[in-house]
Amino acid sequence: MKIFISLMLVILMFSSCRQAPYHAFPWKPYSKQAVEESVAHHKPVVIDFWAQWCPNCHELDRSVFSRPDVQAKLAGVTALRMDVTNQDDPAVQRMIDKYSIEGVPTIVFLNSRGKEINNARIIGVVSPQEFLQALALSDIFK
């Protein structure tokens, strides 16, 4: 009986540690062509620099990018994700150098002319409110 109770406690402990499911935001993979098309249509761009091994990147997905209010705001821009998991890849390294990425997660905001918005960059984990504020305070929708 002790073994059964111990086993049940272990199962209960592990089941309570599981994360609740979330509705992932449908990021498009980064490409130069996607940015050029966005600029041609006068649409701002948000680039999420992300890596598989990055726990903070996954935290942003769960706590910020899964929220309906954030997803509604991102629907008004070209939302791209640059996967920098393999930093040995020359294409990845070029993007890291081009945008001076020092760590992930990093979110870069480009205006409708394709220029990075000064002081709007987000580095690390932020709250949904901080992310929405960064969108509102930047001139991304102008």
Give the integer Cα–Cα distance in Å for 112 and 110. 7
Give the integer Cα–Cα distance in Å for 53 and 75. 26
Classify residue 103: in a domain, yes or no.
yes
Please tell me whether the overall predicted TM-score, pTM, comes out greater than 0.75 for this model: yes
Classify residue 16: in a domain, yes or no.
no
Mind listing the pLDDT tens digit for each residue in 83-100? 999 999 999 999 999 999
What mean pLDDT is reported for the chain? 85
**What's the CATH code of the domain at 48?**
3.40.30.10
What is the predicted pLDDT for the residue at 70? Answer: 95
Mind listing the pLDDT tens digit for each residue in 30-65? 999 999 999 999 999 999 999 999 999 999 999 999
What is the predicted pLDDT for the residue at 140? Answer: 62
Instruction: Determine which helix (DSSP H) or strand (DSSP E) holds 110, and give its type and residue range.
Output: strand 106-110
Closest of 52, 66, 55 to residue 22, by C-alpha: 66
For residue 22, is pLDDT > 90? no
What is the predicted pLDDT for the residue at 83? Answer: 97
Classify residue 3: in a domain, yes or no.
no
Classify residue 52: in a domain, yes or no.
yes
Is 79:31 a contact under the CB 8 Å cutoff?
Answer: no
Classify residue 142: in a domain, yes or no.
no
In which domain, by residue range, is 49 found?
22-137
